[in-house]
Amino acid sequence: MDSGNSHQETWQTILNNCSGHQGSITAMRWLGTVNPVDLSPQKSVLEVDSLFTRDLLKRHCEDLLSTVLKDQGLGRLEWQVSDSEQQLSRTGPVVEDRKSAVNRIVSASPDSSITGEASRIRHLDAPRTENLQSRNLPAIGNVSQKASSPGNMRQDLTLDRFVVGKSNQVAYQAVKAVLRDPGSKYNPVFLHGGSGLGKTHLLQAITREFFIQGERSIRYVQCEKFVQMFVRALQNKTISQFRSEFRSLKVLAIDDVQMIAGKKSSQEELIETIDAIQQSGGQVLLACDLPPRQCEFLQQQLKSRFLAGLVARMEPPGMETRLSILEREAIRHGTQVPYEVLHYIADSIRTSVRELLGALTRLFAEVDLRGSTIDIGLARRCLEPLVRQGQRMLTVDQIVEAVARRWSLPPEELYSRSRTRQTALARNVATYLARILTNRSLAEIGAELGSRTHATASNSYRKIRDCIESDANLKMEIEHLEAELRG
Write out the residue limits of the CATH 1.10.1750.10 domain(s) in the chain.
396-486
In this prediction, residue 151 carries a pLDDT of 64
Angle between helices 223-236 and 239-247 (to 10 degrees): 140
DSSP state of 282: -
DSSP symbols for 218-234? EEEEEHHHHHHHHHHHH
| Contact status, residue 47 vs residue 11, Cβ threshold 8 Å | no
The CATH H-level (homologous superfamily) assignment of domain 159-313 is P-loop containing nucleotide triphosphate hydrolases (3.40.50.300)
pLDDT per position as a tens digit, 191-236: 998 778 899 999 999 999 998 888 889 999 999 999 999 999 999 9
Q: Residue 422: is its pLDDT beyond 80?
A: yes
In this prediction, residue 223 carries a pLDDT of 93
Residues 299-313 have a mean pLDDT of: 92
CA-CA distances (angstroms) from residue 78 to 7, 23, 56, 62, 63? 15, 22, 14, 10, 12
In this prediction, residue 52 carries a pLDDT of 62
Rounded Cα–Cα distance for residues 232 and 238 (Å): 8
350 band by pLDDT with thresholds 50, 70 and 90: confident
Q: Is the pTM of this model over 0.75?
A: no
Write out the residue limits of the CATH 3.40.50.300 domain(s) in the chain.
159-313
Rounded Cα–Cα distance for residues 25 and 116 (Å): 10
Torsion of CA 97, 99, 102, 107, to 10 degrees: -100
245 or 7, which is more confident? 245
Averaged pLDDT score across all residues of the chain: 78
Nearest one of 242, 206, 212 to 227, comparing CA atoms: 242
DSSP state of 466: H
Q: Residue 386: is its pLDDT beyond 90?
A: no
In this prediction, residue 75 carries a pLDDT of 87
Write out the residue limits of the CATH 1.10.8.60 domain(s) in the chain.
319-391
Just give the CATH number of 319-391. Answer: 1.10.8.60
Among 121-125, 151-155, 303-307, 393-397, the range of highest mean pLDDT: 303-307
Q: How many other CB atoms sit within 10 Å of the CB of residue 143?
A: 8
487 or 304, which is more confident? 304
pLDDT per position as a tens digit, 67-90: 888 888 888 888 887 654 343 333
Fold of 396-486: Chromosomal Replication Initiator Protein Dnaa; Chain: A; (1.10.1750)
| Contact status, residue 424 vs residue 460, Cβ threshold 8 Å | no
Residues 447-454 have a mean pLDDT of: 82
In this prediction, residue 96 carries a pLDDT of 36
